[in-house]
Chains A and B, each alone.
Chain A
Amino acid sequence: MAVAQALEPVASPSAPSAWRVVTRRAVAFLLICALLIGAWEGYKALGTATGGLIPGTTLKLPIRADDRSLPHTWRIVGSLFEPVRASDDTLLIANLLRYAAFTWFEAAVGFAMGGVIGFFLGVVFVQSELLERGLMPYVVASQAVPLLAVAPMVVIWGSQAGLPAWLAVSIIAAYLTFFPVAINTLRGLQSPDPAAIELMRSYAATPAQVLWKLRVPAALPYIFTALKISATSSVVGAIVGELPSGIQNGLGRALLTFSQYFTTGPERLFGAVLVSALVGLAFFGLVTLAELWLVPARRRLE
């Protein structure tokens, strides 16, 4: 036992607890929100004071600071709690949250599909260098095609194939999601030390055992990095996908409508933008919570 006592474990700084990470991030988020609101209102106050000119010059400010182009932040928030129209006393926020829930549902289905496809591609590529070299260029090229070009195609093909419109939207979201997951899964699966692979070989481990006992656990931090990116981009994909699909009760349609009525109610568009951003953020937060739970602090990639 003398040996064990002589060799004390190496001291290591304790990793921050999940709770502390969450609080620290929340404080930073609120601080940045405050800064953005300050910049917005500051710009507006400046424009009003100088009559829309850059101070000391006769040059116009790039964006007009009047209430139509740049409504007060409190007006934007206030408009969320006003009725949609005179004849209907549903609040705007209630409608937007209903749309948001629907869009988030589409995004989440797409996120799941893209995640599974991306993970599967990573696994296939790590097993076969031939397939990786053959298919990887197409995976990369898929992301070079603009989403706006892909979306109508998927919607048209989807309706011809008899798929519900929301599923076509999910497929469009999956199209944005699968790529980061495939790339990062592959990198993560390749991350174990060659000696660790040899160790598994010396145990005569099957390829499936090497995958599940070594490569996948090693890849977990990499996969979560990708899932966090994918969470927000799946929401973007769903919103863009809703535009050509004619879906009425999603955020995409709301954003389109409010931008058409921008001159009469600009704060409604900004309200819808705010809610859209919050959906993406909430989804990102959800995935981050899953990461805090599943990946120990020491192994997280930042």
Chain B
Amino acid sequence: MQLTDINKTFGGRGADAVHALKDINLSIKSNEFISLIGPSGCGKSTLLRLVGDLITPSAGDVRVNGKPAHEARLKREYGMVFQQATLMEWRTIRQNVELPLEVMAWSADKRQARARQMLDLVHLAEFERHYPWQLSGGMQQRVAIARALAFEPALLLMDEPFGALDEMTRERMQLEVLRIWSQTHTTVIFVTHSIPEAVFLSTRVVVMSARPGRISAIVDVDLPQPRNFETREDPRFFEKITEVREALRRDEARGAALRAATS
């Protein structure tokens, strides 16, 4: 995946315009796990939505497997997971996982078989006939992941998927996502607020800064795979956390100096 000279401005021209993203260049190899991290308003969600063709850049070019983002969306190369699971409350768990397959006009037999397989993958097979309200937040989010992966998209886009979960559930979910990632060979772009989460999950952490949103550092996380609870106790895990934190702080200091100079 290739992002070239991306700029995104919201709202009119001149003083009203908000420069959400400025001169973004990033290339992501297949099967990478990339985290986007940065302060609120740094445009990390905007960047994710640009990649997913839910919004279009004001300037620049997004290419996924050599195709423009729009074409990639029409070819169904994206699986999306949001902070809220956004399950359809009138559908059972299995019917929720089948939703994208229905849209893609799969036969009922194939849909059912794939949905069962995906629910197995997220360890929710016995809940296929339940309704979303009968499941906890963490379970709902796993259904959302199963739904996103059901049609084997090349790219999994996750926008703070564990933001609403408690710490313990969150750590379990991180392990699940890593396991699924290693089993399915998808490329993942993961937006988060949490430094340890970004370091634990990613092969690379993209640190962004706000106003305008830019990429200020890219931290390679070469911790051994597969990651597990031992990773969290590895001294190098803490080194990487410090590295990301310092990149963020450097940025904050620069932003404050800039604001002081302009005001």
* Chain A interfacial positions (CB closer than 8 Å to B): 1, 3-4, 6-10, 12, 193, 195-196, 198-205, 209, 213-214, 217-218, 220, 296, 298-299
Contacts and interface: CB of A to CB of B under 8 A. Distances in A.
A175 B125 CA distance: 50
B176 A3 contact: yes
Contacts of B99: 203, 213
B236 interface: no
Contacts of A196: 86, 88
A202 B52 contact: yes
B250 interface: no
Given A203-B76, A213-B99, A298 B123 contact: no
Contact of A205 (B82, B103, B151): B103
Dominant secondary structure of chain A at its interface with chain B: helix
Contacts of A209: 103
A7 B172 CA distance: 10
Interface in B7-44: none
Interface of B: 49, 52, 54, 73-76, 78-80, 82, 84, 86, 88-90, 99-100, 102-104, 123-124, 126-127, 130-131, 133-136, 138-139, 151, 169, 172, 176
A10 B123 contact: no
Given A3-B172, A202-B54, A203-B103, 11 more contacts: A3-B123, A4-B123, A6-B172, A9-B130, A12-B134, A196-B88, A198-B54, A200-B103, A204-B75, A204-B103, A217-B88
- 8 shortest interchain CB distances as A-B pairs: A4-B123, A203-B103, A202-B80, A205-B103, A203-B100, A195-B86, A195-B82, A196-B86
Contacts of A1: 123
A40 B199 CA distance: 77
Contact of A203 (B88, B89, B104, B133): B104
A204 B133 contact: no
B90 A299 contact: yes
A4 B102 CA distance: 27
Given A1-B123, A203-B100, A214-B88, A9 B76 contact: no
Contact of A195 (B79, B84, B169): B84
Nearest to B81: A199
A7 B86 contact: no
Contacts of B84: 193, 195
B43 to A, nearest CB: 17
A3 B135 CA distance: 13
30 contacts: A4-B123, A4-B127, A6-B172, A9-B127, A9-B134, A10-B133, A10-B136, A193-B84, A193-B86, A195-B82, A195-B84, A196-B86, A198-B80, A199-B86, A200-B103, A201-B73, A202-B78, A203-B99, A203-B100, A203-B103, A204-B73, A204-B74, A204-B103, A213-B99, A213-B103, A218-B90, A296-B90, A298-B89, A298-B131, A299-B90
Nearest to B137: A10
Among A199, A201, A213, chain B packs the most CB atoms within 10 A around the CB of A199
Contact of B124 (A4, A195, A200, A298): A4
Most B-side CB within 10 Å, residue of A1, A6, A9:
A9
Contacts of B75: 204
A80 B139 CA distance: 61
Given A12-B134, A195-B82, A4 B88 contact: no
Given A193-B86, A195-B84, A299-B89, A9 B103 contact: no
A7 to B, nearest CB: 5
Contacts of B169: 7
A10 B138 CA distance: 11
A109 B76 CA distance: 45
A195 B88 CA distance: 11
A299 B90 CA distance: 8
Nearest to B85: A195
Contacts of B126: 4
Contacts of A218: 88, 90
B172 A199 contact: no
A214 B172 CA distance: 31
Nearest to A8: B136
Contacts of A3: 123, 172, 176
Contacts of B73: 201-202, 204
Nearest to A5: B123
Contacts of A4: 123-124, 126-127
Nearest to B54: A198
A7 B138 contact: yes
Nearest to A205: B103
A43 to B, nearest CB: 49
A193 B135 CA distance: 19
B139 A9 contact: yes
Contacts of B133: 10, 12, 298
